């Protein structure tokens, strides 16, 4: 588990991070959300030791992160980059060695990963000869080649077409399933919503909210329900203990006004009146939570 505790950092007079604390748990995909300039990349760079923190600590399994530990982290920086004139497989395998792998293991891992990322047929080409999407896949391979104990990916899906997103996602999920903590940043909330188990929301250099995605939804969501019946749903207004938020023909959105179990009363009443086409709690999207907390 990676633990970030009270990390702060400023550039000149500008305080970029202010007491940032969160955890990335093993086997979970943690989405790191924030607007541009909110401090996502700075936080990641500090975790990777690329930048120094002015305060606070970053620890791995309870001990401060050292260079030797970091060498086993996998990192995909926001600004992508590999050697343009070097072969794809050659440089990924070299990076694997730089991360501490033996030459043979590095080669084996490279071949396996490139196949998995559907890039095996371009292994011998120079990086600059690849399309941008394929360069991106190579970048993912570079972050994974040494079987990292921790994965940190800055905007890993930007610039990927939908098929590539699925391919990369599959590879990342596999790592997470093997118990690797995965931290990835994104400003595309819909992507994070679909992928992550945990969410950390940063705003203006402070953590605005963090926790399991579903827990956050409950915490920040209202207890609204949506009911769809066969005919007009206007009658719900007259159920005691109910406040109707919106009615549109057969569809109504309401919330309990007092009695928390009134939803069951409404459902029973609806069933007595005729067929019920739909009945669901209204879960807030991350987008809504995001807007609420920042």
Which residues contribute to the site for another protein (CB under 8 A)?
A: 45, 48-52, 66-68, 70-73, 75, 77, 79-86, 94-95, 97-102, 105, 109, 142-143, 146-147, 149
Q: Which is nearer to another protein, 99 or 213 (CB)?
A: 99
What's the farthest any 2 CA atoms get from each other in the chain?
74
Handedness of CA 194, 135, 75, 26 (dihedral sign): positive
The minimum distance between CB 232 and another protein, in angstroms, equals 60
The minimum distance between CB 151 and another protein, in angstroms, equals 12
Structure tokens at 140: 């993912």
Evaluate whether 116 touches 44 at the Cβ level (below 8 Å).
no
Q: Which is nearer to another protein, 22 or 75 (CB)?
A: 75
Secondary structure (3-state) at 51: coil
Q: Which is nearer to another protein, 105 or 212 (CB)?
A: 105
Secondary structure (3-state) at 281: strand
Q: Which is nearer to another protein, 108 or 187 (CB)?
A: 108
- CA–chain centroid gap for 274, Å, is 42
Instruction: Say how far apart CA 248 and CA 278 lie, in whole Å.
Output: 14
The minimum distance between CB 147 and another protein, in angstroms, equals 5
The H or E element that residue 273 is part of is: helix 262-273
Q: Which is nearer to another protein, 154 or 210 (CB)?
A: 154
The minimum distance between CB 75 and another protein, in angstroms, equals 5
The H or E element that residue 8 is part of is: strand 2-11
Q: What is the DSSP letter of 79?
A: S
How far CA 153 is from CA of 98, 233, 279, in Å, comes to 19, 47, 38
Q: Which is nearer to another protein, 26 or 77 (CB)?
A: 77
């Amino acid at each position: 588990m990676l633990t970030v505790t009270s990390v702060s950092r400023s550039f000149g007079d500008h305080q970029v991070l202010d007491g940032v604390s969160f955890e990335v748990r093993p086997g979970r995909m943690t989405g790191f959300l924030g607007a541009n300039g909110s401090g996502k990349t700075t936080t990641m760079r500090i975790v990777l030791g690329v930048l120094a923190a002015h305060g606070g600590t970053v620890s791995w399994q309870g001990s401060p992160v050292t260079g030797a530990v970091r060498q086993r982290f996998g990192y995909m920086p926001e600004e992508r980059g590999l050697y343009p004139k070097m072969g794809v497989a050659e440089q990924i395998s070299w990076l694997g060695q730089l991360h501490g792998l033996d030459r043979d293991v590095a080669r084996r891992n490279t071949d396996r990963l490139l196949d998995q990322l559907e890039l095996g047929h371009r292994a011998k080409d120079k990086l600059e000869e690849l399309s941008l999407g394929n360069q991106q896949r190579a970048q993912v391979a570079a972050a994974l080649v040494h079987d990292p104990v921790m994965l940190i990916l800055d905007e890993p899906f930007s610039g990927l077409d939908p098929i590539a997103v699925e391919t990369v996602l599959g590879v990342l999920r596999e790592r997470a399933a093997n118990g690797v903590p995965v931290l990835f940043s994104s400003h595309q909330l819909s992507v994070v919503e679909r992928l992550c188990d945990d969410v950390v929301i940063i705003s203006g250099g402070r953590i605005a909210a963090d926790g399991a995605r579903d827990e956050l939804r409950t915490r920040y969501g209202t207890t609204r329900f949506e009911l769809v019946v066969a005919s007009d749903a206007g009658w719900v207004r007259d159920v005691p203990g109910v406040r109707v938020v919106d009615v549109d023909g057969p569809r109504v959105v309401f919330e309990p006004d007092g009695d928390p179990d009134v939803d069951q009363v409404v459902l029973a009443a609806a069933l007595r009146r005729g067929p019920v086409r739909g009945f669901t709690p209204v879960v807030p999207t991350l987008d809504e939570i995001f807007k609420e907390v920042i």
